[in-house]
Structure 1
Amino acid sequence: MNTTLRDVRSHGWTTNAVPDAVALFLHGFGSNEHDLGSLAPALGLNLPWASLRAPIELGNDGAAWFSITMPGNPEAGPVEAATDAIWAWIEANLDPGTRIVPIGFSQGGLMASQLLRVQPERVLAPVVLGGFVLGAPQPGDETLRGSRPALFWGRGSDDRVIAPPWRSPAAASTFRSTPR
């Protein structure tokens, strides 16, 4: 796994000004850092953004955040390693006071929820598109049970990849009011 993530950045990205928030696009399995940045104009983002490339190379310009074992129910270790790689990118490229708005699709959606579950104080309004959550407990879960931050969760009704029990936020301990 490559722990130094590559990225594509918005034209408004600057190292001189310190923004209050930055959007992070996190692509799905088999895609790349060029995939989601085109959503920025349609979303009307008034934030600088970066689109990160997942750390596992798949060939044909595709990458993954972690290997697929059971769709929608990944092993915790590889997901946590990918989460650490994203946080390392954030620490290297953003001011400590800048909050992030992670926008992820599929595996990238899981990564958006992971960022929230690991450092809830740094994350502002994650967007999970066709994603899922890791079933393993995470460091910020207790904080999230009390704060219940804003989160957009969107998916189609005919998902044939992620098993039904893992399709909703209620499927993971993060979004339950009582621990498993």
Structure 2
Amino acid sequence: MTQQLLPYVESNPSSTPDACVIWLHGLGDSGHGFAPIVPELKLPDSMAVKFIFPHAPERPVTINGGMRMRSWYDIKSLDFNSRADLDGVQTSAYQVESLINAQIDSGIPAERIVLAGFSQGGVVALHLLPRFAKKLAGVMALSTYMCEPTLLNSEATDTNKDTPIFMAHGDQDEVVPIFMGNAAYQTMHSNGFNATWQTYPMQHNVCVQELNDISAWLQKVLG
């Protein structure tokens, strides 16, 4: 039985796309949340980049009293070591992998696909990249952290060791404290992944300077 792909919002360039960015939202948001960012990136018309913003499934979230909302995984506790539910992260990573493979099947090579994620979405992106069997163009992990970092050494492959990873965090983030983001960066870096770390004077959001840096980074990895 073929798995049904996650639903998503799609933004297409004026010409036939030859690259793709798959951008995962945070807890309680949807694919519509980040879709307006595309024109703000001001990518040149010569870059034929398709953007896909998938919607996470709705599920009860423990820390929110079991309320159902779009979530890539359950959050049972705000504790640093047990915030992300591994089973949920693995399931979402599998669903995102299917979405990536669908783009590959449509004619866009894996090496022309960037996986991006904000907060919860970034957790899924950081989980999937080291375990993905095909080399991607890059990963953006924004205002996020890592699920079960101790598993990385035994589960990671070398396929995406050289893949650029843009990691960024707000130094005033009260939702995902900056030390959690930096710990994820240190874990990726110490395991030999090509990660960079950038901080911004902001809370749990994105800012103009970050968008400018993301645009420059995308033009570098997809240009």
* TM-score bucket (shorter structure): 0.7 to 0.9
Quick one: structure 1 residues 117 and 177, their matched pair in 2 at CA, closer, same or farther if it must change by over 3 Å?
closer
Between the aligned partners of 1:43 and 1:102, the Cα distance in structure 2 is 16
Q: What is the TM-score with the length of structure 2 in the denominator?
A: 0.64
Q: Does 1:103 align with 2:116?
A: yes
Whichever residue aligns with residue 143 of structure 1, its letter is D
Aligned 8 A contact 2:122 2:142 in 1:
yes
> Conserved in 2, the CA contact under 8 Å of 1:26 and 1:109?
yes
Partner in structure 2 of residue 30 of structure 1: 28
Letter in 1 for 2:32: H
Tell me which of 130, 145, 148 is aligned to 1:132: 145
Shift of 1:79: 0.3
Aligned partner of 1:80 in structure 2 is 90
Find the aligned partners of 2:168 and 2:178 in 1 and give their Cα distance.
14
Change (3 A) 1:61 1:177: closer
SS of aligned partner of 2:32: coil
Task: Determine if contact 1:6/1:53 at 8 Å carries over to the other structure.
Answer: yes
Using CA pairs below 8 Å that are at least 6 residues apart, which structure has the higher relative contact order? 1
- Tell whether the 8 Å contact from 2:25 to 2:33 is kept in structure 1 after alignment: yes
Q: For each residue in 1:28-50, what CA deviation from the matched residue of structure 2 results, as whole angstroms up to 9, or x when unmatched? A: 00000101111112223431111
Task: State the shift of 1:158 in Å.
Answer: 1.8
Question: What CA distance in whole angstroms lies between the structure 1 residues aligned with 2:129 and 2:36?
Answer: 23
Whole-angstrom CA distance in 2 between matches of 1:123 and 1:13: 23
Structure 1: unaligned runs, 5 residues or longer: none
CA distance in 1, matches of 2:20, 2:68: 25
**Structure number having the greater helix percentage:** 2
Asked if the contact 1:3/1:55 (under 8 Å) is kept, the reply is no
Root-mean-square deviation (Å): 3.2
Q: Is the 8 A contact 1:23 1:100 kept in 2?
A: yes
CA shift for structure 1 position 25 = 1.2
2:127 equivalent to 1:123: no
Between the two proteins, what is the percent identity of the paired residues?
22
Larger radius of gyration: 2
Aligned partner letter, 1:42: E
| Structure 1 position 5, deviation (Å) | 0.8
1:68 CA drift (Å): 0.8
For the pair 1:12 / 2:13, whether they are aligned, the reply is: yes
Give the partner amino acid of 1:48.
Answer: K
Matched pairs, number = 172
What runs of 5+ residues in structure 2 fail to find an aligned partner?
Answer: 62-66, 193-223
Please give the TM-score of this superposition, normalised by the length of structure 1.
Answer: 0.77
Provide, for residues 28-85 of structure 1, a one-character-per-residue CA deviation record: whole Å limited to 9, x for no partner.
Answer: 0000010111111222343111110112346999511001123453132210111001
Instruction: State the distance in 2 between where 1:112 and 1:122 align.
Output: 14
CA deviations 1:87-139 (Å, max 9, x no partner) are: 12222343373342112111011122223122163322211111112225257
